Amino acid sequence: MLKLVARRARAQWPLLAALLAVAVVGPTLLGTCALLLTRTAEQALETAAARAGADQVDVTAYTVTIRGEHARSVADDTRDVLTSALAPFAATTAARASSVMRALPGAGVPSVAYLSGVADLPSRAQLVRGRLPRAGAAPAEAVVLESTARRLGLAAGSRVRLGRELADDPDESAEVRVVGIVRPLPGTGWDRDPLTGTGFDPAYRDGRSAQPVHAYGPFLVDLADLLGGGSTLDRLEITAHPDLSAATVRDLDAVTQAVLGADRRLGRTLGDRVRIQRVASRLPATLLAAHDQQRVTTAAVLAVAAIGLVLTATALALAGRLSAGVRAGETALLSALGVGRGQLAGAALAEAGALAVLAAVAAIPASSALHAGLTRLAPMAEAGLAAPAGVNAAQVLSVAGAALALAAVLVVPSLRAPPPRACAGGGSCSPAPAPTCCSWRSPPWAGGSCATSRPVRGRPSTPYGCSRPRCCSSPAPRWRCAWCGPRCASWNAWPAGLAG
C-alpha cells in the first residue's frame, strides 16, 4: 500500500499540493496565536513594568513615633524588609526623617522647631548660600530654607539652640550650627514635610496646646546624625525603588505577592519599637492592571484563533470530499481487485499523516515569521514589543495538534464506505469480494476456447462466447488483471432478480 500511496502522490501531486496549502493555513494561524499568547504576552508585561514610573513601582514604609535609641535599628530593619520584598530585583533606598517638635526659645512668641534628615539632599534642594552639612560635626551642622532664615534672621555660621522635645519622654535640648541656606525643589517629596516645605507656619497646632503656635523648620542635618543623635523621631519614611529593566513574569509575580505581605512582615519585625507602621505601594496594582489587560487581549486572540481554525477545518473537509469524489473510480477498482477497507483506510491514514507532517514542518517557520512581522508593525513596535523570529514549546505543540486535527478532518471522507452501484434491473448491488485476480476464460484474442464452460441459466453469454467468467487461482499476468478486474466484479455482482 505504501507503494500505491507513493505512486498516487506522484500522479496526483497538484491535488495534494492544494490540500497541503489549505492544511498549512490553520496551524500557521494557531502557531502565531500561541506566540502572541506566550512570548508577546510575557514581553508586554515585562515592558509595562520596565516603563512604569517611580510612583507606580516604589515601595514606601512609614513608621511613626520612634524613640531615639531605636531610630537607627528601625531604619536598618525597615530597609531589610523592603529590599527582601523586592528580591530578586536590585533596589535603591531613600529615607526621610523628622523629629518631634522642640521648643524654640528666644522667638518672642510661643514657637516650635524640628530637625529633619533627607537622603541625597542635593537632588531635593538647591543650595542658595553656604554649603551642605557634614556628618559627625559638633555641634551638628544644618541648613535651613530661605523663609526660615529670613524670619529668624539666620545666616551661615549662626547657632540655634533648640529646647526640649514636646514628647512624653523628652530628650535634652540640642544645638545646631547653620552652614547654608537652601531652596526646595518641586516634585521631590517636600509635600510630606511637616510644614510641606514652606519653612514657617504661623498657626501650627501640635495637639499639646490650646492655642496655635509659630512653627519653623526644618533644620536639615545629615540623616546619619539625626538617626544616631538620640532625638525622638515623629516620622520615618523609607522608599525602595526596584530596577525592573530586566524583569521576568515569574519574578514580577513573586514580587507582587511579597509586597502585598510586606506590611505584616514589617509589623512583626519592628514590634513595639514604633507606634505605627505601614507599607504602601502601587506596584501590585500596576502589575495586576497589566494582567487584566493581558486577559482581555488573550480572549481576543483566542477568538481569532478559533475562527481561523474552524474555517480551515471546514475548507479542508470540503476539499477531502472533493478528493474522495475524484478518487471514486480508483477506489472502486481497488475494491474490485480485492483490496479491503482496512487497507484503503491505512493508505488514507498514511497519506493524511504525511500531509500533517509536511503541514507542521511548514507552519512552524511560517508562524514564527508571521509573528515577527506582526510585532514590527507600528503599534506593537512603539509599545516595545518588536521581537525577532523564534520558536517555543507552546507554538510547536499548537502547530502539531492543529495539523493532526486537520489531518483527521481530511481523512474522514476517505474512510466512508463507497456508495452502492446501480444495477441494470433497478435497486442497488454491492460488489462482492473478488479473488486476487479474475480473467475471462480463453478470450479469442488470448487463445483457447470456451467449450468447457457451461451456460448459466438467466445470465447472458460473455462477449467472447463464454457463459461465465473463470477466476484464476494462480497469479495472472498484470494485463489480464487490469483488463478483467472490473468485468469480473460486475459479473459477481449480477443482480439476483435477473438470475431466474
Please give the full DSSP string across 237-302, using - where no structure is assigned. Answer: EEEEEE--TT--HHHHHHHHHHHHTHHHHHHHHHGGGEEEEEEEESHHHHHHHHHHHHHHHHHHHH
Strand blocks (E) in 109-187 = 111-118, 125-130, 140-145, 159-162, 174-184
pLDDT tens, N- to C-terminus, the chain (500 residues):
556 666 666 666 777 787 888 888 888 998 999 999 999 988 888 898 999 999 999 999 999 999 999 999 999 999 999 999 999 999 999 999 999 999 898 777 889 999 999 999 999 999 999 999 999 898 999 999 999 999 999 999 999 999 888 877 677 788 999 999 999 999 888 999 999 999 999 999 877 767 889 999 999 999 999 999 889 999 999 999 999 988 899 999 999 999 999 999 999 999 999 999 999 999 999 998 888 888 888 898 989 888 888 888 888 778 777 676 666 666 666 667 666 666 666 777 777 788 888 889 999 999 999 999 999 988 888 888 888 888 999 999 999 988 888 878 777 766 554 555 444 444 444 444 444 444 444 344 334 444 344 444 444 444 433 434 444 433 444 434 444 444 444 444 433 333 33
With a CB cutoff of 8 Å and minimum separation 6, the contacts of 93 are: 79, 82, 83, 119, 238, 239, 240, 241
- 50 burial type by CB count under 10 A (0-12 exposed, 13-18 middle, 19+ buried): middle
Which amino acid is it at 80?
D
Neighbouring-strand partners of residue 201:
215
d(CA 229, CA 137): 11
d(CA 358, CA 400): 10
Buried b (16+ CB within 10 A) or exposed e, 232-266: bbbbbbbbbbbebeebebebbeebbebbeebbebb
Among the listed residues 312, 102, 50, 85, the one whose alpha carbon sits nearest the alpha carbon of residue 226: 102
**DSSP code of residue 407:** H
Quote the distance between the C-alpha of residue 6 and its chain's center: 43
| Helices 249-260 & 71-85 angle (0-180, nearest 10) | 140
pTM over 0.85: no
Which ranges in 86-213 belong to alpha helices (H)? 146-152
On whether the CB atoms of residues 258 and 156 are closer than 8 A, the answer is: no
Biggest CA pair distance of the chain: 149
CB atoms within 10 A of CB 279: 24
C-alpha separations of 414 from 2, 17, 122, 344, 435 in Å = 16, 17, 81, 8, 23
Site of grid cell 435477473:
498
d(CA 234, CA 248): 39
